């Protein structure tokens, strides 16, 4: 079943008097349970495409369809609702709320979705166990290493049982060991839970984990899982 469908999406940014085309007509379809890497050099449009799929931004033209629903013209609140119920995010920086503990960070999306206290507790502890951080539940981000913080972010992304998890350069700020550990956890959770992972990267050590690789260059998809794509 198709989780994401991107149809001829463009995204132009106006910087002063100069217009920059970050995406120039991208089309892509991703099926449920995929473990897909968006690769390409800096400025190729990977992050912008993730932001379109994640309802963080809206395309200048084209359509983004998530679980059969066109999200292109949703307003701010509708996009927030879509993210809250459907999409998990992992960012390059360790995007945790510094005043909340690891437990509370993972709990946050569940709270926003109105889960009961027991449901939240069970789910948070299950996920912290899955990322091997059960013992650090009460630690705040500044008491965790970079790798541990990113694992908390993975747990948070999974907490709401999303349709897909979008990860933007998830290992860019980690050393090789921690990067490998995070990728292995993501891979394991993809297999165990069937959740779709889409991650942007240009790190060859990360790309090797992907089942499917989509390559972008200059705002266009130039290769889709080994098959070249004509603009």
Partner 1 sequence: MNQLFKMAFRDLGRNRRRTFFSALAVGVGLMLLILMASVINGEMGGAIESAIRLQSGHIQVRAASYDENKNSLKWEDLVENPDQIASQIAALPQVAAATPRLYASGFLATGNESAGVSIYGIDPASAANDPYRVGLLKGSFLTADDSSGLLIGQPIAARLHLNVGDNVSLSVNTANGNVEEQTFTVRGIYSTGTYGFDNATVLLPLAKAQAITQTQNHASTIFVLLKDTSATDSVVAALKSSNGLKVLTWRDLNPLVLQWESLAQSYIGLFYMIILAITASVIINTLIMSVYERTREIGILSAVGMRGSRILGLFLTESSLLAVGGVIFGVILGLLAVYLFNIHGFYIGNMGLSGILVSDTIRAKPILNDFINLSIATFIVTLLSGLYPAITASRLEPVAALRAEK
Q: Interface mask (CB under 8 A) for partner 1, residues 111-150, using x and -?
A: xxx-------------------------------------
Q: How far is the CB of 31 from partner 1 (least distance, A)?
A: 24
Task: Report the residue from 61, 93, 119, 205 that binds partner 1 according to the rule CB under 8 A.
Answer: 93
**Where is 220: in which H helix or E strand?**
strand 220-224
Q: How far is the CB of 168 from partner 1 (least distance, A)?
A: 9
Please give the C-alpha separations between residue 122 and each of 7, 45, 108, 134, 152, in angstroms, as whole numbers.
39, 38, 14, 12, 16
In 10 A of CB 119, how many CB atoms? 12
Q: Interface mask (CB under 8 A) for partner 1, residues 22-61, using x and -?
A: -----------------------------x--x-xx----
Q: How far is the CB of 146 from partner 1 (least distance, A)?
A: 13
Task: Report the residue from 45, 109, 147, 219 that binds partner 1 according to the rule CB under 8 A.
Answer: 109
CA gap 114, 146 in Å, rounded? 29
DSSP assignment of 75-93, as one string?
A: -HHHHHHHHHHHEEEE-SS
Residue 189, SS3 per DSSP:
helix
* Residue 45 CA to its chain's centroid (Å): 15
Q: How far is the CB of 113 from partner 1 (least distance, A)?
A: 8
- Residue numbers 148-167 binding partner 1 by CB under 8 A: 156
Spatial contact of 195 and 189, defined as CB atoms under 8 Å apart = yes
Footprint on this chain of partner 1 (rule: CB under 8 A): 51, 54, 56-57, 76-77, 80-85, 89, 91, 93, 95-100, 104, 107-109, 111-113, 156
């Amino acid at each position: 079943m198709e989780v994401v469908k991107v149809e001829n999406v463009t995204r132009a940014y106006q910087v002063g008097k100069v217009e920059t085309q970050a995406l120039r007509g991208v089309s892509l379809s991703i099926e449920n349970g995929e473990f897909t890497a968006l690769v390409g050099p800096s400025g190729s449009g990977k992050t912008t495409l993730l932001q379109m799929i994640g309802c963080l931004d809206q395309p200048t033209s084209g359509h983004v369809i998530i679980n059969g629903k066109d999200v292109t013209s949703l307003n701010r609140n509708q996009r927030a609702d879509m993210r809250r119920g459907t999409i998990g995010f992992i960012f390059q920086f360790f995007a945790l709320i510094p005043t909340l503990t690891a437990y509370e960070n993972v709990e946050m999306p569940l709270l926003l979705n109105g889960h009961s206290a027991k449901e939240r507790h069970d789910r948070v502890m299950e996920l912290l166990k899955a990322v091997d951080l059960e013992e650090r539940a009460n630690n705040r981000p500044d008491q965790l290493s970079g790798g541990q913080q990113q694992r908390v972010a993975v747990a948070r992304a999974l907490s709401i049982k999303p349709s897909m998890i979008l990860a933007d350069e998830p290992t860019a700020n980690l050393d090789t060991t921690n990067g490998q550990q995070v990728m292995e956890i993501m891979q394991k959770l993809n297999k165990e839970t069937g959740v779709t992972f889409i991650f942007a990267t240009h790190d060859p050590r990360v790309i090797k984990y992907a089942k499917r690789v989509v390559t972008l260059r200059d705002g266009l998809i130039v290769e889709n899982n080994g098959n070249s794509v004509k603009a």
